[in-house]
Amino acid sequence: MRAKIKAITFDLDDTFWDIGPVIINAEIKTREWIESSLDEEIAWGDYESFMLLREDLIKKDGRLAYDLGALRRESIKHHVRHAFSNEKQLDYFVESAFEIFFDLRQKVTLYPHVKDFLNAASAKLPLGILTNGNADVKKIGIDKFFKCRFTSLDVKSNKPSSKHFKKAVEFFNVLPEEILHVGDDKIADISGCIRAGLNPLWFNNKSNEWDLDLEEPPQISSWKNALEYIEQNYEF
């Protein structure tokens, strides 16, 4: 028996676009701007030290775990504080650097057929966004397809916590099992939505193996025939 759905929610990063190269480019360009502006080389450290810094900042201020913008600003501030004796000038510089990063972070390339899928799907069902990230769908050009967007900052938590999913249930005024959630992350999206009672659809374009102690979910690997798959396997 096909599950009856009344809405579809989606993750963003690595579901509609490949975010890795975008973040790397944004990081590099922002660091170049900072060093050029300060006329000095900054000891950024390696990836491990970058992650350890983030962990340390989150330990000091728990809200940074779900506020990526604030976390990014604090990380930048950590590396440039020595160059400023005036706190207002420091904050202004950090904000300028963050704006450069944030703008570059939106320079994503949609996977093939994403817009075609969203255009067709949004004509059949209301669509929503449930993301741990801070992508600006208006800047990316896909905001018109969605009825709602809930970020980690909105719900003060990160998937796989149930808060994103509960927010979607409340917004669409449906039962959890009447929402289909589509995402790439096995834990944050798929395990999270299953535990919250939603129907999972795993976007798996990298041929990853299912290795969680849960029943393997249905999956798609591209957006070309995604709507056809949904129409064949779900009732709405």
pLDDT at 2: 87
Question: Is the pLDDT reported for residue 167 higher than 80?
Answer: yes
Question: Is the pLDDT reported for residue 222 higher than 90?
Answer: yes
**For 39-58, how does the pLDDT look when each residue is reduced to its tens digit (9 = 90+)?**
999 999 999 999 999 999 99
pTM: 0.95
| CA angle in degrees (0–180, nearest 5) for 194-234-162 | 20
The Cα–Cα gap between 62 and 30 comes to 25
What's the number of CA atoms in the CB half-sphere (13 Å) around residue 189?
Answer: 28
Domains of the chain (ranges; CATH) run 3-18+109-235 (3.40.50.1000), 20-105 (1.20.120.1600)
The Cα–Cα gap between 117 and 16 comes to 11
pLDDT at 1: 75
Inter-axis angle of helices 87-105 and 20-38, to 10 degrees? 150
**For 57-80, how does the pLDDT look when each residue is reduced to its tens digit (9 = 90+)?**
999 999 999 999 999 999 999 999
**For 204-214, how does the pLDDT look when each residue is reduced to its tens digit (9 = 90+)?**
999 999 999 99
The Cα–Cα gap between 122 and 117 comes to 8
Average pLDDT over residues 172-194: 98
Average pLDDT over residues 187-210: 98
The Cα–Cα gap between 185 and 203 comes to 8
Question: Is the pLDDT reported for residue 15 higher than 90?
Answer: yes
**For 124-153, how does the pLDDT look when each residue is reduced to its tens digit (9 = 90+)?**
999 999 999 999 999 999 999 999 999 999
